[in-house]
Amino acid sequence: MKALILSINLLLMATAPLIFDFSTDTDPAAWRVVDDVVMGGRSDGHFSINEAGNGVFAGKVSLENNGGFSSVRHRFEAKPVDEYTHCVIRLKGDGRRYQLRFKSSLNDAHSYIYYITTSGEWEEITVPLAEMYPTFRGRKLRMPNYPGEQLAEIAFLIGNKEAEPFRLELDYLRLE
């Protein structure tokens, strides 16, 4: 019975739609770094693909000139996600807290966010889509949480109000 359940779970994982699956063939230009330099800050983030084929978002957050964040974003043609309730991310962080950010439309000024605290080890994190709440420039908005109808942008942001180095390694993001 356990073998049957394991087989079913593996089959479901294999057929779950991927939002993004990093590999050595991934073009890092598909991901755009946006730091606080857009507002005069001095943070410095970078995105690359390592030899193992994982996406690596790394750099240093600076508080100089009222700075304090670095982010990496991937935009794409909006895709329906209304059949799914969770996003599963396989990642290896540095023990710091990051935001997972979704946008339903590229025209939206706001993002829906969920905080992830990494362990320093490879882990699979499950994010309930209904718990992602709307924010704009760090302020929570009086709007409903993520409607989960469509998805057009995914991002990771670090902005913990601390000057700190960071490193987040990403394997995949999928919907369940």
Token digits of residue 139: 């302020």
Task: Tell me: pLDDT of 30 over 70.
Answer: yes
**Range 150-172 average pLDDT:** 97
0.85 surpassed by pTM: yes
- A 10 A CB-CB count for 47 gives 23
Give the per-residue pLDDT at 16. Answer: 60
Question: Comparing C-alpha atoms, which of 112, 105, 101, 109 is closest to residue 71?
Answer: 101
**Range 39-49 average pLDDT:** 95
Point out the least confidently predicted range of 14-23, 82-91, 102-111, 140-149. 14-23
Give the per-residue pLDDT at 39. Answer: 86
Task: Tell me: pLDDT of 21 over 90.
Answer: yes
Distance (Å, whole) CA 41 – CA 106: 24
**Dihedral-angle region of residue 121 (phi above 0 means left; psi in -120 to 50 means alpha; beta otherwise):** beta
Distance (Å, whole) CA 57 – CA 48: 7
Give the per-residue pLDDT at 5. Answer: 41
Residue type, 12: L
Confidence band for 14, pLDDT divided at 50, 70 and 90: very low
pLDDT in tens, 32-41: 999 999 889 9
Give the per-residue pLDDT at 1. Answer: 47
Q: What does pLDDT average to over the chain?
A: 92
Q: Which domains does the chain have, with CATH numbers?
A: 19-175 (2.60.120.430)
Give the per-residue pLDDT at 128. Answer: 98
| Cβ–Cβ under 8 Å, residues 98 and 141 | no
- Residues in contact with 108: Cβ distance below 8 Å, sequence separation at least 6, in sequence order: none
Tell me the percentage of the chain whose pLDDT exceeds 70.
91
Dump the DSSP string for 50-77.
-TTS-EEEEEEE--GGG---EEEEEEEE
Task: Tell me: pLDDT of 114 over 60.
Answer: yes
Residue type, 11: L
Give the per-residue pLDDT at 38. Answer: 83
Cα separation values, 41 from 37, 60, 62, 64, 74, Å: 4, 12, 7, 6, 22
pLDDT in tens, 67-100: 999 999 999 999 999 999 999 999 999 999 999 9
